[in-house]
Amino acid sequence: MTFTVIIPARLASTRLPDKPLADIAGKPMVVRVAERAALSGASRVVVATDHADILAACEAHGVQARMTRADHPSGTDRIAEVAAAMQLAPDAVVVNVQGDEPLIDPGLIAATAALIGADVPMATAAHPIGSAEDAFNPNVVKVVLDKAGRALYFSRATIPWHRDGFARDASVRDAGALPDGYRPLRHIGLYAFSNAFLQAYPGLAQSPLERIEALEQLRVLWHGYPIAVHLTPDAPASGVDTPEDLARVRLHFAQGNAKN
């Protein structure tokens, strides 16, 4: 399948200033992300940014980048602007890869892109949760699927709730184990779109559920659009949100664990 990866990259970050430009083994983080995305088989990888410093850093390393407006409310809106400027066809597949994922699995990008079709305008990914700590953590977003592998709902709550399993063992949350056979799914923040839907997305009104859960993807379900979900057995490498995350990724590259 032919697809384009667009990486939204804002310079501002509360917990890690100038995050996209953070050095990782001699290259800015956003460049490392673009290099990983290129391994997915994407026909083109483009960084969508609101800052000239990020544009210059990408160009210095041979990564295509485009400037966007600074007032976009989300990364999805930002990549929609770039996809429109690139004049991509309505049926073109666009993948939103976050700019703080320098260890993202290229195969995961390709597998998520492959789910887009005539009746599937949006796709994402998930993996089974193996610990009670993650199952009960509101910062770990959960997703429930239908039999076709499409999202029924996303939540910060523990869904589906294993009524009998939790009733039998009220201490499961503290014990760090989950009921036998119960594996809720953790949502992975990777998105693919048909370009037609990507262009329509900024015009969709916010939904009450989206505001309550603070989960942008609930807007899509609220308006009746399906989201296909690629299931991967293992948790992907985590992104960079804090100085500690950055140190971990730098160590990963220093030890020669990355190919770029």
**Contact yes or no for 40/5 (Cβ under 8 A):** yes
HSE at residue 156, side-chain half, CA atoms within 13 A, is 11
Instruction: For residue 61, give its domain range.
Output: 3-255
The pLDDT score that the predictor gives to residue 9 is: 94
Domain membership of residue 260 (yes or no) is no
Domain membership of residue 33 (yes or no) is yes
Specify the number of domains making up the chain: 1
Domain membership of residue 202 (yes or no) is yes
The pLDDT score that the predictor gives to residue 174 is: 58
The pLDDT score that the predictor gives to residue 168 is: 67
CA separation for the pair 153, 222 (Å, rounded):
10
Question: What are the 10-residue block averages of pLDDT along the chain, 260 residues in total?
Answer: 95 84 96 98 97 97 96 92 97 97 97 97 97 92 98 97 79 70 96 98 95 96 98 93 94 77
The pLDDT score that the predictor gives to residue 114 is: 98
The pLDDT score that the predictor gives to residue 173 is: 58
The CATH number of the domain where 157 resides is what?
Answer: 3.90.550.10
CA separation for the pair 215, 128 (Å, rounded):
19
